[in-house]
Amino acid sequence: MSNDLRNYAATLAIVTSFWTHPVIADEPGSAYYAALNKAIVAGKELRMLVDLSACQVHGTNAAGPAIKASMRFDGYMIQPDGTIAFATTHFTVGPDKAVREFLSFRVHANGRIEARTMILDAVNDAVLKDTAFDCEIGKGAIFHW
């Protein structure tokens, strides 16, 4: 390997290390909750990858729908019991009308996540669908920062 190629590889390795971010691994549990909590307190920009098919419809043993999504959130609230809460909304078009979708999440210290989706009519804010899911860090939800 030429010196130029070695220097390029070394530079790339150093630069790449600045672009990579810690990830909460795909294992559930309180250790990953603690890392998430620390990242939020440090002001890190987080992204959540969610796979609802790896979650359960709340109150059942049924898997959620085959929907995968990536989201960023503007704000987080750490509640007195340690629960981390965050939410987002977006405007979109459903099969037959414009809708506003509201997504909220509550991450508990044991790594359990309560997820809720509400679809509202964009004209009058009537609730068209309200669904809740039970996920876990590493099983249905992974965080990157």
Residue 67 counted as domain residue: yes
Residue 12 counted as domain residue: no
Residue 60 counted as domain residue: yes
Residue 4 counted as domain residue: no
- The CATH number assigned to the domain holding 80 equals 2.40.128
Residue 3 counted as domain residue: no
Q: Which domain holds residue 89?
A: 23-144
For the chain, 145 residues long, give each residue's pLDDT as a single digit of tens: 555 544 444 444 443 334 444 455 444 467 889 999 999 999 999 999 999 999 999 999 999 999 999 999 989 999 999 999 999 999 999 888 999 999 999 999 999 999 999 999 999 999 999 999 999 998 899 999 9
Residue 1 counted as domain residue: no
Q: Burial of 7 by CB count in 10 Å (0-12 exposed, 13-18 middle, 19+ buried)?
A: exposed
Q: Per the structure, how many domains does the chain have? A: 1
Residue 7 counted as domain residue: no
Residue 107 counted as domain residue: yes
Whole-prediction pTM value? 0.77
